[in-house]
Structure 1
Amino acid sequence: MELRQLHYFTVLAEELHFTRAAGRLHLVQSALSTSVQSLERELGATLIARGGKRLRLTAAGQAFLVEARRTLAAAEAARDAVAAVQGVLTGTLSIGYMPAPDSYDLAHTLGRFHHAHPGVTLRLRNVPSAELVEQVRDHRLDLAFVSTLDRPPRGVRVETLRRSAMPLACAKSHRLGDRRTVSLQEIVSETFIDFVTGWGVRTAVDELLAQARLHRTTAFEVNDIPLGMNLVAQGLGVAFVPPEVVTTYPEVHYLTVDPAPLWHIGLAHLERPRMSAAGRAMLDLINSSPPPLQQPSPQPLPTDASRAGEDPGTA
């Protein structure tokens, strides 16, 4: 059994598609298939069920995947240890980030790390926070910037970088378009635009409403902020958004909600002894100097003077 075979298998297990996996590995599909079949013969078990339209992991494959990832991580740690003795950090650092990159200056942090460790290859992955935490747990990511801090899986730590209240966005023509603050109870009857399950915004809002024993109607589910904000601007619903959105989309109105769901920014990683040398180096860099966080500027609120020329019938 070779490390190369374990690597091929883990990629195929992630993709569950021979063509895509072969593409990631820069192999011809037949070579990948032969490698996996050789591994199955050596183990005396079928790891990948090939019947039907979609591949799936067998029970043996699921069990083997856990150990294969551990073995690959241990091999990477061994290489890192030798590189550290030689004074040169090499290898690959995989970093995940949630779909709200304006919340922190990721490029600044990556630039500092690359300047200090040019021999490390950086890989980035952008998926919802819940999936990022799972990928850290499974050794598929070294670290991840996430917006969910509660109840991480065993072995994963999430360090808080920032917590702040999320504003509610609505169209300026909305009935709440001239309000500054609103209670949570007042808005539950509104039509909501929200993000898909797994996003930190969705989790925070759902948990707050559950605690308050309130129910809302979600008419639109989106998986990107620009589309969600465009729907809000069209008057199709209201949406809780990360605070940084305020400066990016000034064409809509923002309100303070009491109580408001909290926007969390955290750094997820394995326990330090289980991290790669590159992962520990990045963690040290972030802990010594956290990535700059975008600071939202308050939206100018209507004043009596600015309203002087308004049509009273539109208030």
Structure 2
Amino acid sequence: MELRQLEYFVAVAEERNFTRAAERVRISQSGVSAQIRQLERELGAELFDRSARAVTLTVAGEAALEHARATLAAAGAVGQAVGEVTGLIRGHLTVGMVIGCTLTPLFDALAAFHQAHPGVEISLLEDSSDRLVEGVRTGAVDLALIGSAAATPEGLDALTIISERLVVAVPAEHPLAKQRRVTLRDLVVYPIVCMPPGTGLRSVFDQACVAQNLQPAIALQASAADAIADLAARGLAVAILSDSMAARYRDRLIAHTIEDVDTPALLALIWKSTHSPGMRELLVHTGQAFTNPPDPRRSREPSGPSPDIRATDP
């Protein structure tokens, strides 16, 4: 039995999919499958039920999962202990980023961290906020930038980067452009273009509509603010954006704050554990990168107020 076999086993168990697990551990799917089969032969039991579309654990797999996680954690702790003594940090960190978001201060933090600690390998992945939260909870993701419609997820530490209200953005000739106040009921009579589910903006909008028993017509979805603005500027739909997102398109669109949507869309960094020396150092670099508001000229996400630290500094 090898540590890499346990790593692949845990990856498949958490992803419930051999393809996604292979992408996560950065080898071919056939390689993951072969190693899992070898592990099953050594243990004398099948660990996964492969009959359904989603891969699920067998009884034997359920029994083995926590032990496999504990073994991998113990092996990682050995390297961390040696690193702390020698002053050299090694290992691997996975950083997640919600789809449709590109914050250059985060990239600056990763670059500074890499320069300071070249022995730590960094992986960067994009996913929905819900999946990133789950990844942080299970330990598959160490640090994640998520969009949220409320306070950060229970049980996780967080650094709020941006907190902004929603706006509707339309061309100057659109009827909504001439109104002084715009409510949800005013805008849901029109086709809407917005971010996809799993983003903070979409979560805020969906929850506000549900609260008022409104059923908006989501005609178009895009994960980039530029695409949403372009579609709205062409009259295809009204755009739902954040305040500073819409500010970048004042030459083409007129934006109104949605009066009856008080809940802000949050963009936050979340993490679960700071036991890893590498994770502690990464948090130091990300905290420094976000001490000042992101420069909108360097970012595709909205700028906002200075970050609100929701957790004790590691």
TM-score (norm 2): 0.79
Question: Equivalences for 1:1-315 in 2 at 5 Å?
Answer: 1-13=1-13, 14=15, 16-17=17-18, 21=22, 25-26=26-27, 29=30, 32-51=32-51, 54=53, 56-60=55-59, 61=61, 64-65=64-65, 67-103=67-103, 105-148=105-148, 150=150, 155-179=155-179, 181-250=181-250, 251-260=252-261, 261-273=263-275, 276-288=276-288, 290=290, 292-294=292-294
Q: Give the greater-gyration-radius structure (CA).
A: 1
Letter in 2 for 1:144: A
* Cα shift at 1:104: 5.6
CA contact (8 A) 2:109 2:289 kept: no
CA contact (8 A) 2:168 2:238 kept: yes
* Cα shift at 1:113: 1.5
In 2, the alpha carbon distance for the partners of 1:50 and 1:208 equals: 40
CA contact (8 A) 2:8 2:21 kept: no
Gaps of 5+ in 1: 298-315
SS in 1 for 2:141: coil
Output one character per residue of 1:69-98: Cα deviation in whole Å (capped at 9) or x when no partner: 443234223312211211011111211112
CA distance 1:265–1:63, shift in 2 (3 Å): farther
User: Which of 110-119 and 129-138 deviates more?
Assistant: 110-119
How many pairs does the alignment contain?
A: 293
In 2, the alpha carbon distance for the partners of 1:241 and 1:289 equals: 25
* Cα shift at 1:204: 1.0
Output one character per residue of 1:101-145: Cα deviation in whole Å (capped at 9) or x when no partner: 345622221222223222222211111211111111121111011
In 1, the alpha carbon distance for the partners of 2:115 and 2:209 equals: 45
SS in 2 for 1:265: strand
In 2, the alpha carbon distance for the partners of 1:19 and 1:97 equals: 16
CA distance 1:24–1:3, shift in 2 (3 Å): closer
Output one character per residue of 1:211-244: Cα deviation in whole Å (capped at 9) or x when no partner: 3444422222334434333321221211221334
CA distance 1:132–1:176, shift in 2 (3 Å): same
In 1, the alpha carbon distance for the partners of 2:20 and 2:123 equals: 21
SS in 1 for 2:45: coil
Letter in 2 for 1:119: G
* Cα shift at 1:246: 2.6
User: Which of 117-126 and 185-194 deviates more?
Assistant: 185-194
In 1, the alpha carbon distance for the partners of 2:42 and 2:209 equals: 53
CA distance 1:113–1:19, shift in 2 (3 Å): closer
* Cα shift at 1:258: 1.0
User: Aligned residues: percent identity?
Assistant: 30
* Cα shift at 1:25: 4.2
Letter in 2 for 1:21: A
In 2, the alpha carbon distance for the partners of 1:126 and 1:18 equals: 16
Residue 309 (structure 1) aligns with: none
Residue 307 (structure 2) aligns with: none
CA contact (8 A) 1:8 1:25 kept: no
In 1, the alpha carbon distance for the partners of 2:115 and 2:269 equals: 21
* Cα shift at 1:20: 7.8
In 2, the alpha carbon distance for the partners of 1:185 and 1:205 equals: 12
In 1, the alpha carbon distance for the partners of 2:51 and 2:271 equals: 36
In 2, the alpha carbon distance for the partners of 1:127 and 1:158 equals: 18
Letter in 2 for 1:7: E
CA distance 1:122–1:264, shift in 2 (3 Å): same
Gaps of 5+ in 2: 298-314
